[in-house]
Amino acid sequence: MTFPLLSRQALPLLALSSILALSGCASAGETGKKQAAASKTSAKTKKVVKPVQGDEFANFSQWSDVSSFIDQMVEKNGFNKQQLQSTLNQTHYVDSAIQLMKPAPPGKPKNWAAYRARFVEPVRINGGVAFWNQYADALARAEAKYGVPAEIIVAIIGVETVYGRNTGNFRVMDAITTLAFAYPDTPNRTARMNYFRVELENTLLFARDEQIDPFSLLGSYAGAIGWPQFMPGSIRKFAVDFDGNGHIDLRNSPVDAIGSVANFLVQHGWRSGEPTVFPAKVDMTENWQRFINQGLSAKFTLKEMKEAGVTPLVEPPADMLFGLVDLQNGADASEYWLGADNFFAITQYNRSFFYAMSVIDLSRAVRAARNF
């Protein structure tokens, strides 16, 4: 999903989360038999999903902030005021979305091994092979057009929704409107509400552009939609009609999802033909710590990192830039990697080192299983 929060499944890494439940990821305990069946879902197959029932009608249009939002939508985007008031008065307040957005209490130390085990496991590996086999032509076409390897696209869709199995059953209008105007009391509350108000605008614009009922859109508790869990704003910016039917449909078209994931990564810095990560070790006596918490970008030279005590275990190209990726393992030793531009492109999908490495490791496992 693409947006600047993370899900509660990423809580071992950050305080808030994919919005990976944004991603609606399935548990590792699901059976391979169920996953194999899910992987056969075609673009023409529409799953019947019962929406989460909102807690109550909130008469949102009577809220002063909502009334101001309606006026802005009328002036900026040409919406009919009465129709928009009616739409927002059909929208439900969803307390469960509020509760899921609240920061989790302090818990166990970050543990990369435990996090990885939830996503690099037989259900997603076997499902990834089946998905790749079923959509091999679309994946090959996306790889040729965008330069993103098929296994990376497969892995992102696998981590996000287990190949379309868990796309979420919240009405997007309910979830996003609730978060836009009643976000929980957190230090970043104002910024978060502004973010979701923009997403509410994009939800309404997307529904108008595609001539669909906005209440037909189902997604995660934060409003992420479809196989790849794109937020509405990301759909409007980065999603593509990859099956050529004249519509963008990330809910029912795995082919659109494939092209959209690839386009998203390219638009966020993916470099065709370049690697993602290189294993490394650090010299505890040196000044390597200065590379920690330096943002989600590759900006240090190999020479700089070596001089500070970071040694690659596989020698990378000398002309590339890197960031230091530290994967904490609870009481055990952390893993260290040199992250290249392509690694950090994946973190733009979900702002988490754990997430990006799980995508990379799942992609390798799926490719190995498919080529076995």
Q: Give residue for tokens 């307390």.
A: 95
Within 10 angstroms of residue 14's Cβ, the number of other Cβ atoms is 19
Q: What positions carry a catalytic annotation?
A: 160
> What angle do helix axes 136-146 and 254-267 make, rounded to 10 degrees?
20
Q: Identify the bridge partners of residue 277 per DSSP, sorted by sequence position.
A: 339
The three-point CA angle 36-151-261 to 5° equals: 95
Provide DSSP, 164-176: TT----EEHHHHH
Burial class (CB in 10 A: 0-12, 13-18, 19+), 57: exposed
Within 10 angstroms of residue 27's Cβ, the number of other Cβ atoms is 11
Q: Which of 367, 269, 354, 369 is nearest to 14 (CA)?
A: 354
Please answer whether residues 44 and 136 qualify as being in contact, where contact means their C-beta atoms are separated by less than 8 angstroms.
no
Please answer whether residues 362 and 124 qualify as being in contact, where contact means their C-beta atoms are separated by less than 8 angstroms.
yes
What's the token pair of residue 182?
């009643």
Please answer whether residues 233 and 209 qualify as being in contact, where contact means their C-beta atoms are separated by less than 8 angstroms.
no
Please answer whether residues 282 and 291 qualify as being in contact, where contact means their C-beta atoms are separated by less than 8 angstroms.
no
Please answer whether residues 324 and 299 qualify as being in contact, where contact means their C-beta atoms are separated by less than 8 angstroms.
no
What's the token pair of residue 188?
């970043």
